[in-house]
Chains A and B, each alone.
Chain A
Amino acid sequence: MNKQRYLLDYTLRLADDALIIGHRLSEWCGHGPVLEQDIALTNTSLDHLGRARTLYQYAAEQFNRLPQGEKKNAFTSVAIQNLVASGENLGEDDLAYLRDGWDFRNMLLLEQPNIDWAYTIARSFFYDTFNYFFFQHLAGCKDESLAAVAEKSLKEVTYHLRWSSEWVVRLGDGTSESHQRMQHAVNELWAYTGELFVMNDTDKIMLQEGTGVDIEAIKPLWMQRVSAVFEEATINTPTGTWMQQGGKEGRHTEQLGYILAELQFMQRAYPGMAW
């Protein structure tokens, strides 16, 4: 792969992360435990979806500039290959709705199901903490478009992190039931947190280029923050070290296929129409 392709891969990963978590959070709309929290969670979902759109637009621009031969092989998607063959440019929706799971680059953590409020909070808390440090670094990167996204996202993610941290504490140090549920969710999702800091080829090349973030360097900051909140919440930090990974390379859990089956239904059943 050349540098352009790595940048595309990097941009798409960030877009896929945002879309998949935004989609998961949107599943809560109308089903929240308290009306005010239903509204708060929807706000956060909208922030993620907004970021996904900007990033997909940027990814589409990059894709459309690739030489024809590279475009053809970029994704294993009949629908996208047909668009490329007919000389059409891709847009944000094509990238979100026409790729299959193996071309999605989101981290496994984000596709995990809502299950209950504790799982939802734990998943968001891990991701929000990561984002909080990640976007601080990305805001200073050489790529102006990504830096601008990071700048805007920082304001949002600061709020997201405050919200999810408060809930970890509330549930952890609430009733015995909520404590047990919170601890359980943290334990179950822990194995998906390792991937947040795995530097694959894309990460390494982007870092060399001055575009990417050194995510290994974020790990201790993340750990420190998570531990501090867990301590206040009387939650034990899991000791398990076996970590699941593969999302960044397109090897997902079984969850993603079902998300896409729902998310992409309209574009698959009624292809090529404007909505």
Chain B
Amino acid sequence: MTVHSFQEHFDSLIDRELTIEPRDWMPDDYRKTLIRQISQHAHSEIVGMLPEGNWITRAPSLRRKAVLLAKVQDEAGHGLYLYSAAETLGVTRDELYDQLHTGKAKYSSIFNYPTLTWADMGAIGWLVDGAAIMNQVPLCRTSYGPYARAMVRVCKEESFHQRQGFEIMLTLSKGTEIQKKLAQDAFNRWWWPSLMMFGPPDAESPHTEQSVRWRIKRLTNDELRQKFVDVTVEQAKVLGLEVPDKDLKWNEERGHFDFGAINWDEFWNVVKGNGPCNKQRLETRKKAWEDGKWVRDAAMAHAEKRKAKKDAVKAA
């Protein structure tokens, strides 16, 4: 086949909603875009362990402690599936880590915000995981097979995470005045960053059009954001919390909530590294990796010694 016919075959798979598999021919840009997107997602899971990990040792009850620990462990598992999916595109996990540690690769900016109170565990589960699900459910049908299959597992667990977050918020909202205040305060701080999680407005999103065509993305940033607002505002009512947006209003004509202007200046600053915790998160990841080097070296050296012994026995 010529490159031209390879391209035709690829296009026809995309058009027929069939999956592209690791050994199929794919355009270079498709591969590059996927590596970027999947690794960003994997990094987000791993960095995302930190803000919640922050409260494991301070969880208010044994049950909450165990559930939170299991939840953060799930994020590690998601990271693992996603790094593995990225590896099928011809890049190693170590290379991807290196991109993260040198700042070349990005991760979701939401994790550059601090977790200041226990209620943040509720708000993150409810809002951040809720937004992540909106982003990710369509990816279960994305064109690249290994990514789509990883996302099916990720989404199942994320929906459990979102429920546990909502349940923390519900417990707080049914609790004392102080607990309600904790819940509202967390909501106030996480609401706008959650809306930013869907990325820049469509008009300013450079990759959207091509990604939608490739079914790497299935809905645009603005479509997903609107969906999230509509669902979440109703949930906030159940919790008795006030959405921190004075411009929020039901628009009968559109059949959606109108909401206030997002502070994109803040968004781009956090992306650029000026968020409250960018440096801290990256340093923590780098430290874990560097401190672990001697452990990984030891495991490797031991495995080689084992193999050498085995080979010697065989040769004898």
Report whether A42 and B73 are in contact in the complex, using a CB–CB cutoff of 8 Å.
yes
A44 to B159, CA, bound (A): 24
Question: Which residues of chain B are within 8 angstroms of A181 by Cβ–Cβ distance?
Answer: 294
Count A-side interface residues using an 8 Å CB cutoff: 48
Q: Which of A53, A178, A181 has the most CB of B within 10 A?
A: A178
**A174/B302 contact (C-beta < 8 A), A50-B66, A117-B295 known:** yes
Report whether A178 and B175 are in contact in the complex, using a CB–CB cutoff of 8 Å.
no
- Residue B224, interface by CB 8 Å: no
**A178/B57 contact (C-beta < 8 A), A31-B288, A170-B302 known:** no
CB-CB contacts of A26-43 with B at 8 A, as 1s and 0s? 110111111111110011
Question: Which residues of chain A are within 8 angstroms of B237 by Cβ–Cβ distance?
Answer: none
Report whether B56 and A29 are in contact in the complex, using a CB–CB cutoff of 8 Å.
yes
**A173/B178 contact (C-beta < 8 A), A26-B65, A32-B292, A39-B77 known:** no
Report whether A177 and B298 are in contact in the complex, using a CB–CB cutoff of 8 Å.
yes
- Residue B69, interface by CB 8 Å: yes
CB-CB contacts of B288-304 with A at 8 A, as 1s and 0s? 11011111111101100
CB-CB contacts of B81-120 with A at 8 A, as 1s and 0s? 0010000000000000000000000000000000000100
Q: How large is the interface on B (under 10, 10 to 19, 20 to 34, 35 or more residues)?
A: 35 or more
Shortest CB–CB separation between residue A220 and chain B, in angstroms? 29
Question: Which residues of chain A are within 8 angstroms of B294 by Cβ–Cβ distance?
Answer: 175, 177-178, 181
Report whether B301 and A175 are in contact in the complex, using a CB–CB cutoff of 8 Å.
yes
Shortest CB–CB separation between residue B104 and chain A, in angstroms? 20
Question: Which residues of chain A are within 8 angstroms of B291 by Cβ–Cβ distance?
Answer: 31, 33, 116
Question: Which residues of chain A are within 8 angstroms of B76 by Cβ–Cβ distance?
Answer: 29-30, 35, 38-39, 42
Question: Which residues of chain B are within 8 angstroms of A84 by Cβ–Cβ distance?
Answer: none
Shortest CB–CB separation between residue B38 and chain A, in angstroms? 15
- Residue A242, interface by CB 8 Å: no
The residues in A between 62 and 94 inclusive whose CB is less than 8 angstroms from any CB of B are 92-93
Shortest CB–CB separation between residue B84 and chain A, in angstroms? 10
- Which secondary structure dominates where chain A touches chain B? helix
A38 to B195, CA, bound (A): 31
Report whether A266 and B295 are in contact in the complex, using a CB–CB cutoff of 8 Å.
no
Report whether B69 and A275 are in contact in the complex, using a CB–CB cutoff of 8 Å.
no
Partner of B80, one of A39, A56, A97, A173: A39
**A45/B297 contact (C-beta < 8 A), A266-B58, A266-B118 known:** no
- Residue B263, interface by CB 8 Å: no
A174 to B59, CA, bound (A): 37
- Residue A273, interface by CB 8 Å: yes
Report whether A33 and B288 are in contact in the complex, using a CB–CB cutoff of 8 Å.
yes
- Residue B62, interface by CB 8 Å: yes
Question: Which residues of chain B are within 8 angstroms of A45 by Cβ–Cβ distance?
Answer: 69
**A29/B298 contact (C-beta < 8 A), A270-B178, A274-B171 known:** no
Interface positions of B (Cβ within 8 A of A)? 46, 49-50, 53, 56-66, 69-70, 72-73, 76-77, 79-80, 83, 118, 168, 171, 175-176, 178-179, 284, 287-289, 291-299, 301-302, 305
Closest 7 CB pairs of A and B: A33-B292, A174-B298, A178-B298, A266-B60, A30-B49, A30-B53, A33-B295
Interface positions of A (Cβ within 8 A of B)? 19, 23, 26-27, 29-39, 42-43, 45-46, 49-50, 52-53, 56, 92-93, 96-97, 116-117, 169-171, 173-175, 177-178, 181, 262-263, 265-267, 270, 273-275
Known: A26-B56, A39-B80, A45-B69; 18 extra A-B contacts, CB below 8 A, are A26-B65, A29-B56, A29-B69, A29-B76, A30-B76, A31-B53, A33-B295, A34-B299, A38-B76, A39-B76, A42-B73, A46-B66, A92-B62, A97-B60, A117-B292, A171-B302, A175-B298, A266-B58
Q: What are 15 of the A-B contact pairs (CB < 8 Å)?
A: A29-B56, A30-B288, A33-B289, A33-B293, A34-B292, A36-B80, A38-B73, A42-B73, A49-B62, A49-B65, A170-B298, A173-B302, A174-B301, A177-B298, A267-B60
